[in-house]
């Protein structure tokens, strides 16, 4: 099998926050923009890209539900996670100043996250399909009275000026990305390191199936950090689950928990084991 090209695929247009995440984590790979999450993921599946950078959840907007439906349709593995702070920038065409702006354009979510600051400047919001696309359109228009809310990378790519950084109303907006590959990259279990394992499974049609399936994690002291449910079929009779636990499959407690999960659930699939991102440690410090 020939080696995949040095490409990391993402959904969006150049300058999107997914693009920014690609450049932060894998600057050695060429970032390739895709129209959809499915296109990005299946590029990796077909060997046309080495990795895919896929957003799973955002601290403000919640989960990206489409990803949970797409993952079972692929054979991809999660090899890493990345937490990217969303720092919105107010952009303008070269030569303009904040005082000259009358309108601001961006994705509705970004507009909402910057609403207070936009109102303080008297800017009228104009909805666009995405943040980076609004920056590209602004560059084409050359309109000095129009601003855009997008990433610093979008400013660089489309030759726009950053009029104000950290333009969001509230700090802490963060997106968690999964990095997907065709082959599993199970890290060796090393003492002192924290690992994440992501699992997908479907419960059996018996009373208290979910309670019993997850019971092994509790009794074996395996910390469950995330549990998401979604309908895996059109019948709306069977629920599937995405589970993130803080453990490595080679740990004895995790092995016992997985045995119990297999007994009470079906279609169990370990999506990947990977080192916990340092962002998780910073959150623990804040909470402590």
Active site (catalytic) residues: 175, 177
What whole-number distance in Å separates Cα of residue 16 and Cα of residue 28? 18
User: Strand pairing of 195-203 and 265-275?
Assistant: antiparallel
Contact indicator for 62, 109 with CB cutoff of 8 Å: no
List all residues 6 or more positions away from 169 whose beta carbon is below 8 Å from its beta carbon.
Answer: 113, 114, 115, 116, 117
Those residues with Cβ within 8 angstroms of residue 107's Cβ, 6 or more apart along the chain or in another chain: 127, 128, 129, 130, 131, 134
Helix (H, G, I), strand (E, B) or coil at 153: helix
Q: Return d(Cα 194, Cα 276) in angstroms, integer.
A: 6
Q: For residue 174, what are its two tokens?
A: 């963060």
Residues 6+ apart with CB under 8 A from 252: none
């Amino acid at each position: 099998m020939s080696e995949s090209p040095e490409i990391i695929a993402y959904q969006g247009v150049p300058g999107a926050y997914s693009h920014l995440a690609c450049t932060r984590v894998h600057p050695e790979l060429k970032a390739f923009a895709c129209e959809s999450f499915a296109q990005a993921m299946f590029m990796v599946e077909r060997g046309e890209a080495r990795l895919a950078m896929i957003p799973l959840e955002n601290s403000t907007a919640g989960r990206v539900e489409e990803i949970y439906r797409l993952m079972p349709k692929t054979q991809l593995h999660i090899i890493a996670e990345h937490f990217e702070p969303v720092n919105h920038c107010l952009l303008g065409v070269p030569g303009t100043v904040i005082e000259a702006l009358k309108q601001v354009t961006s994705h509705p979510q970004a507009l909402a996250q910057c609403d207070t600051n936009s109102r303080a400047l008297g800017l009228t919001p104009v909805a666009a399909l995405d943040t980076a696309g609004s920056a590209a359109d602004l560059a084409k228009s050359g309109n000095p009275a129009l601003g855009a809310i997008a990433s610093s990378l979008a400013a660089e790519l489309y030759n726009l000026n950053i009029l104000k950084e950290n333009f969001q109303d509230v700090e802490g907006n963060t997106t968690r990305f999964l990095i997907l590959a065709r082959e599993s990259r199970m890290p060796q279990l090393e003492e002192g390191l924290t690992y994440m394992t992501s699992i997908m499974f479907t419960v059996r049609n018996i009373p208290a199936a979910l309670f019993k399936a997850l019971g092994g994690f509790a009794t074996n002291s395996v910390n469950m950090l995330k549990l998401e449910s979604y309908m895996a079929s059109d019948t709306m009779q069977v629920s599937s689950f995405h589970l993130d636990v803080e453990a490595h499959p080679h740990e004895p407690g995790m092995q016992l928990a997985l045995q119990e999960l297999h007994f009470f659930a079906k279609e169990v699939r370990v999506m990947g084991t990977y080192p916990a991102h340092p962002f998780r440690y910073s959150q623990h410090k804040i909470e402590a």
